[in-house]
Amino acid sequence: MKLNKLAMGIALSLTAMSCANAETINLARPERVKKDLSSAAEINLSHAPINISSASPGGNIALSSGSTTTIAYPARQDIVGGEIKLSPKLAPVPEVSISSAGNIQLLGGPTTTIKIVAFNDFHGQLESPGTLRKDPGASTPSVAVGGIDWMAGYIAKLKSQNPNTVVVSAGDIIGATPLVSALFHDEGTIETMNRLGLDFNSVGNHEFDEGKTELKRMQTGGCHPTDPNTCRGVDVGTPVPFEGAKFKFLAANVVESANGKTIFPSFAIKVVDGVRVGFIGMTLKETPTIVTPSGVAGLEFKDEAATVNALIPQLRARGVEAIVVLIHQGGVVPTTQSVSTINLCDGGLSDSPIKAIVNQLDDEVDLVISGHTHQAYNCQIANKDGRLISVTSANAQGRVLTDINLTVYKAIGEVSTVTANNIVVDRTNAAITPNAAIKSIVDKYKTIATPIANRVIGTISADITRALTPAGESALGDVIADAQLLETQGVGFGETVVAFMNPGGIRADLTYAQSAAEGAGNLTYGEAFTVQPFGNTLVSLTLTGAQIHTLLEQQFTGCTVGYPANAPVTGQPFNRILQVSNGFSYEWQEKGTPCDNVNPASIKINGVQVDPAANYRVSVNNFMADGGDQLYVLTQGTNRLGGALDLDALENYFSVNGLVAPGPKNRINLLP
């Protein structure tokens, strides 16, 4: 609990020992005292809450009601030698606490419980994403989970337990979505979230996948300007034109460079059972480095902690004492995600971005709901003042919900306690009734998408997965890079000699086992779309051999050579090993010296060492070509030529090759 509030209606007086030039100071909520009060004869705090923050070392603070209780406080005192006398109306004396900053808190009176239901990283997963293993040791996943109709059923059940409920998301409800959502520009996800009862969503990085203009359409509604697969309300039973989000997008740290205004509101205030609760929405600061740069052109992404702290006075000025941060940033727990581990916090999110942010947060923040890392955890992390606050995350794709209860003193709106519990969205739970109206909408979208999704585009001989070798290469990465080289190597199509693919753009595995009606080994368009859902286009460009070497070095943490002035000063947050096409090879090792991991002599194309001074045509996707994933050297590429969609290139590769086997994983070599 925060340590600077007085119960509503409490009248206090403070008599200072130094009475020269004494005066009486009357204070009214929500004013905060920032000056030295030691010369005051009397201070009347007729309205609460109030923060007495003048500092004077060496004295004691006396609290009295009938008898006097003296609390020694060596570090900081509010008033030299003064005493605070409680009004006779305060009987019995309420709870009294003093913070390390010397603030005094008196709490008492009736409380209310406000429930918050949270999730994150939904990614348009309207249908079940599959299963979740029961425990880390389980050989196979075992619990059927998710589906937005089941999520809505769980939320309805929780609301029946407490009508004072707010539903929130910590970002990425759209973007990188399955075909049933993405084919319709995620309109179905917004429509079903409206009916699920979502109140607020902090904007994540994937909300920017189609650019800020399209994101604003998600909020305000209207039809897509060019795609006929938009505004299908007549077919699915929703309004026409597309209704837009009935919930609020929040993005406190995303600012339009031209006018300094936030792209969406910084915060929202919801009155719940008479209590004003503030929700601050925060976007991943590194968003410009992991989405197509053109999609965030003209936007600035500010520091998360500094932005939150700067908003606290605004919220307090509006009478808000209960503050929740919804942030699209997170951490990782070193345990396999499973039903039995979703409430653990092994490692305490050590060395994670979210821990560093929470450690800087103002003590006014009561709760942090996080995301981005697709992890489930339930943690207690110290804020700036050392007080532990709840930090939660609910896995991803609707597998898990977080059930949070805030106990709040009604008179002052101050949070007393926070309890959180991650729960699995179990599709076999007989106590839950999935939402039939939402299921109907999803089913109708699926009916439209199914003929496209079930079209067989090729066959595979075995599972082709994203599993990485120690060097960072995957069988699926090999196949995708080969497909992009095939698409761009012809005369007039790029004349490329090598293709590079970013690993973050590969979102799923290709499995041999039959997953629908197509038959084992057959690859459908829908399955391929799940692997590459971003709709990126291929770009051919010219790099020198030296620039290819720089590109490979920019994969690794610590190498910032060639970085622009506004780029992250620490380089990559982790090694991003690019997948490379057939005929390209190189060796690397961790040397501990930035920009010195790759041996230039080992960089070869078709067995011939790359000449630093020679020019080479390379293929990348448009995300990478614009400097995405901090691959800034690619922005220096010349003679650019646009090409096909990445997914079309993959389909063509399967058409040309017939049966496709897993990639050999022998192009990148890690030296000891």
DSSP string across 590-628: --SSTT-SB-GGG-EETTEEPPTTSEEEEEEEHHHHTTG
Contact (Cβ atoms closer than 8 angstroms) between residue 143 and residue 423: no
pLDDT score recorded for residue 518: 66
The structure tokens listed for 244 are 């837009």
Determine the Cα–Cα distance for residues 269 and 433; give it in Å rounded to an integer: 31
Determine the Cα–Cα distance for residues 623 and 31; give it in Å rounded to an integer: 49
Mean pLDDT within 173-193 = 95
Nearest to 119 by CA among 185, 206, 210, 200: 200
Give the rounded percent of residues in the chain with a pLDDT score beyond 90. 71
Determine the Cα–Cα distance for residues 56 and 371; give it in Å rounded to an integer: 42
Q: Give Cα separations from 406 to 385, 420, 512 (angstroms).
A: 21, 9, 47
- The letter for the amino acid at 650 is L
pLDDT score recorded for residue 339: 95
Of 189-193, 344-348, 531-535, least confident by mean pLDDT is 531-535
pLDDT score recorded for residue 50: 32
Q: Give Cα separations from 664 to 87, 465, 656, 661 (angstroms).
A: 80, 12, 19, 9
pLDDT score recorded for residue 27: 34
Mean pLDDT within 135-141 = 79
Of 304-308, 628-632, 660-664, least confident by mean pLDDT is 628-632
Question: Over the stretch 573-609, which tens digit does the pLDDT of each residue have?
Answer: 899 999 999 999 999 998 889 999 999 999 999 999 9
Q: Give Cα separations from 422 to 141, 327, 401, 405 (angstroms).
A: 18, 17, 6, 12
Determine the Cα–Cα distance for residues 521 and 549; give it in Å rounded to an integer: 38
Question: Over the stretch 539-556, which tens digit does the pLDDT of each residue have?
Answer: 999 999 999 999 999 999
Residue 46: pLDDT band (50, 70, 90) is very low
Kindly list the strands in the beta sheet with 522-524, ordered across the sheet, starting from the edge strand earlier in the chain. Answer: 522-524, 456-460, 659-660
What are the helix and strand counts (H, E) for the chain? 14, 36
Q: Give Cα separations from 420 to 101, 276, 348, 367, 566 (angstroms).
A: 28, 20, 16, 10, 38
Looking at residue 52, what DSSP letter applies?
B
Angle 161-167-169 (CA atoms, 0-180°, nearest 5)?
Answer: 145
| 129 cis-preceded (ω within 30 degrees of 0) | no
Question: Over the stretch 608-617, which tens digit does the pLDDT of each residue have?
Answer: 999 999 999 9
Question: Over the stretch 290-333, which tens digit does the pLDDT of each residue have?
Answer: 887 778 999 999 999 999 999 999 999 999 999 999 999 999 89
Give the rounded percent of residues in the chain with a pLDDT score beyond 70. 83
Residue 515: pLDDT band (50, 70, 90) is low
Rg (CA), the chain: 29
Question: Over the stretch 455-477, which tens digit does the pLDDT of each residue have?
Answer: 999 999 999 999 999 999 999 99
pLDDT score recorded for residue 334: 86
Q: Give Cα separations from 513 to 141, 517, 522, 628, 660 (angstroms).
A: 16, 11, 9, 34, 15
Q: Strand 322-327 vs strand 275-282: parallel, antiparallel, or unpaired?
A: parallel
Q: Strand 638-645 vs strand 659-660: parallel, antiparallel, or unpaired?
A: unpaired
Question: Over the stretch 93-123, which tens digit does the pLDDT of each residue have?
Answer: 334 444 444 444 444 557 899 999 999 999 9
The structure tokens listed for 482 are 């080969």
pLDDT score recorded for residue 546: 97
Determine the Cα–Cα distance for residues 54 and 35; give it in Å rounded to an integer: 6
Provide the phi-psi class of 492: left if phi over 0, else alpha when psi is between -120 and 50, else beta. left
The structure tokens listed for 607 are 């067995």
* Residue 165 dihedral angles phi and psi, to the nearest 5°: -125, 140
Contact (Cβ atoms closer than 8 angstroms) between residue 485 and residue 582: yes
Of 273-277, 357-361, 409-413, 415-419, least confident by mean pLDDT is 409-413
Residue whose entry in the numeric block shows the structure tokens 């509503």 = 8
pLDDT exceeds cutoff 70 at 380: yes
pLDDT score recorded for residue 626: 85
- The letter for the amino acid at 137 is G
Determine the Cα–Cα distance for residues 109 and 414; give it in Å rounded to an integer: 11
CA 301 to chain CA centroid, nearest Å: 14
The structure tokens listed for 592 are 């501990």
Residue 6: pLDDT band (50, 70, 90) is very low
Residue whose entry in the numeric block shows the structure tokens 């069988």 = 475
Determine the Cα–Cα distance for residues 574 and 57; give it in Å rounded to an integer: 46
* Residue 193 dihedral angles phi and psi, to the nearest 5°: -65, -35
Contact (Cβ atoms closer than 8 angstroms) between residue 631 and residue 293: no
Determine the Cα–Cα distance for residues 485 and 496; give it in Å rounded to an integer: 7
Contact (Cβ atoms closer than 8 angstroms) between residue 328 and residue 171: yes
Question: Euclidean distance between the first and final Cα of the chain, in Å?
Answer: 51
Mean model confidence pLDDT for the chain: 85
The structure tokens listed for 167 are 């539903």
The structure tokens listed for 166 are 């707010």
Residue whose entry in the numeric block shows the structure tokens 């309207």 = 126
- The letter for the amino acid at 397 is Q
Residue 335: pLDDT band (50, 70, 90) is confident
pLDDT exceeds cutoff 80 at 34: no
Mean pLDDT within 347-356 = 94
The length of the chain, given as a count of residues = 672
